Structure 1
Amino acid sequence: MAEAVPVRCPSCRRENGYSVPVYPCACGSPVVPPLDLAAPPVPLTHRNWSEAWVTVRCAACGRESEWPHPEVGCGSCGMVVRVPVHPVDKPPAGQQPGGEAGAADAGAGSAAAAAGAGAGDGVPRDPARAEPGGGAGGVAGADSPDGAGPRTGPAAGRPAVSRPAFRPVTIRTARDAVVTAALYLRWLGFQDVRQPDQVPIPSAVVDLRAPGVVAQVDPTTAPAGLRAVECVWLNGLTASATSVYFSLAGYTEEARGRADDLGIPLFVMDLTGMPQPVNDPADRLVGMGA
């Protein structure tokens, strides 16, 4: 995994540590989106699926591939920002995308990439949430999804749950977001997570339920608001279960504050399929499990 770089939130001005994503090219070489840290991060207030992907060229074979655009969820205010990426330049003379240099190793490289994805490291990136003071922090416990070790915070000093690393699923549709949230709940230790039979539409918030948990998955392009957080809290209260919220576009400031008051874990999902805790209740849930 690449070294974490600081990304300043344009809303609260807090610096968040961000580990640049590393993807597997078909030739077997690692591919890293070239971040443009000189350009300011762009607040993501409306998600456009057609603009959520970025073209990255492999330095080894010159192949161009589409990968999720780098995004960071602010650990302080909850805003999701998109990190600018340098555009793809023309390949060097004699090296064409997908040409002989890439075709020679395409077969073996594809098998290697597939094997890596099956091992859970096909998308080994996880935008880190920085601790106050600027450094990049991991999720609670040495077995956190990003493997960054224990983070300081409300969950520090509590016994961490030992579990394998979470295997993310790339999110391309609303259905993918629901599947990712269900897999993550199972990874946290909740059993028999029930998903809706019908494929959700992008504008619909979907309920996930399991013994001990009621979750809502918001695949829409607007930040989740106060009413959404209070709704999932009431559903959990009625079912005597833990309430959890997953959002693709982050949360409003009012929703963040209310969730902290009610103790509702909030997660932001990026397009690589790695949910990120954005408040203390979510940190505690990741650290201790179901």
Structure 2
Amino acid sequence: MNSDGVPLRCPACRRDHVYVPPAYPCACGTPLAPPIQRGATPSPITHRTWTDTWVTVRCRACGRQSQWPQPELGCSCGAVLRVPVRPVTAPTGAKAAGHRQPRAGDRPPGGGDRPTEAPARAAFRPLTIRTARDAVTAAGLYLTWLGFGDVLHAEPPPASGIDLRGRDLVAQVDPTTRPASLKAVECLWLHAMTTSARSVHFSLAGYAPDARRRADELGVPLFVLDLTGTPQPVNGAARKLVSAGA
């Protein structure tokens, strides 16, 4: 496994990043990361489906070929980038094996631009996202891991758009394929103000630039969810929350 960082440049804002692909254990136990295509330009994700978000990865130790989440990077400008992966040829011989989907709980999260664990917390165990409901569940698990108490789903989702509530907490999860809007961030903040709660926003497709700027002004933590179910902080308020906990 090559754990070296790969230099990437965001095509939206031209910021440079060093991306380290997350490594998950193969069924044989060997740490395995998708083979990033060096020199290739990442592409912004403007449309997301559940069927095109897996890549084929082959373990060099056992030859097993499996499906893994497509590597993604959340840029600080709010764009979510698809990181190109080298094609993998089918394994041959006795080492060939069937496909296997990664399961939540197999591995701790890793990789560049990932949240930093607070010293007192165990590693976050993500939930692989396949549906919109999975996205809400993954965000709820993460908020509980951060230290928020009694985090519950709103059933059915109310007109306010508040998907999760906890002690002194309101959170919204946007599972759509479009970046979260300025209105969504402002409405969440206003709802938190009226209930004297903290607000947190999660999105699968990132944030519109004006939404990101307003969140910075209001101190609303913004997270991008990748399909492994591991939230990535995209602003200072989110990074502070990850560092300090609830």
Q: State the AA in 2 paired with 1:56.
A: V
Counterpart residue number, 1:125: 110
The size of the alignment, in residue pairs, is 242
Q: State the AA in 1 paired with 2:113.
A: A
- Give the superposition deviation at 1:273: 1.3
- Give the superposition deviation at 1:64: 1.6
Counterpart residue number, 1:236: 192
The verdict on how the C-alpha distance between 1:58 and 1:206 changes in structure 2, with shifts beyond 3 A counting, is: farther
Counterpart residue number, 1:31: 32
Q: Distance in 2 between matches of 1:74 and 1:39?
A: 16
CA contact (8 A) 1:185 1:193 kept: yes
Q: Distance in 1 between matches of 2:141 and 2:223?
A: 14
Residues 35-89 of structure 1: CA deviation (Å, up to 9, x unaligned): 11222101101112111111112222222211100000002x0100001111121
Counterpart residue number, 2:173: 217
Where does 1:1-290 land on structure 2 (aligned, <5 Å)? 2-75=3-76, 77-92=77-92, 94-95=93-94, 97-98=96-97, 118=105, 122-128=107-113, 139=115, 144-145=116-117, 162-197=120-155, 207-290=163-246
TM-score where L is the length of structure 2: 0.89
Residues 241-275 of structure 1: CA deviation (Å, up to 9, x unaligned): 11110001100101000111111110011111111
Q: Which has the larger radius of gyration?
A: 1
CA contact (8 A) 2:54 2:67 kept: yes
Runs (4+) of structure 1 moved beyond 4 Å?
none
Residues 79-137 of structure 1: CA deviation (Å, up to 9, x unaligned): 00001111121435x345218xx9xxxxxxxxxx98xx75xx614323316xxxxxxxx
Q: State the AA in 1 paired with 2:6.
A: V
The verdict on how the C-alpha distance between 1:194 and 1:124 changes in structure 2, with shifts beyond 3 A counting, is: closer
Q: Distance in 2 between matches of 1:280 and 1:31?
A: 30
Q: Which moved more, 1:222-231 or 1:161-170?
A: 161-170
Q: Distance in 1 between matches of 2:199 and 2:18?
A: 28
- Give the superposition deviation at 1:161: 6.3
CA contact (8 A) 1:61 1:95 kept: no
Q: Which moved more, 1:79-88 or 1:15-24?
A: 15-24
SS at match of 2:152: coil
* Identity, % of aligned positions: 60
SS at match of 1:51: coil
Runs of 5+ in structure 1 lacking a partner?
Answer: 103-112, 130-138, 146-159
Alpha-carbon RMSD: 2.5
Q: Distance in 1 between matches of 2:206 and 2:245?
A: 22
CA contact (8 A) 1:216 1:245 kept: yes
TM-score where L is the length of structure 1: 0.76
The verdict on how the C-alpha distance between 1:239 and 1:89 changes in structure 2, with shifts beyond 3 A counting, is: same
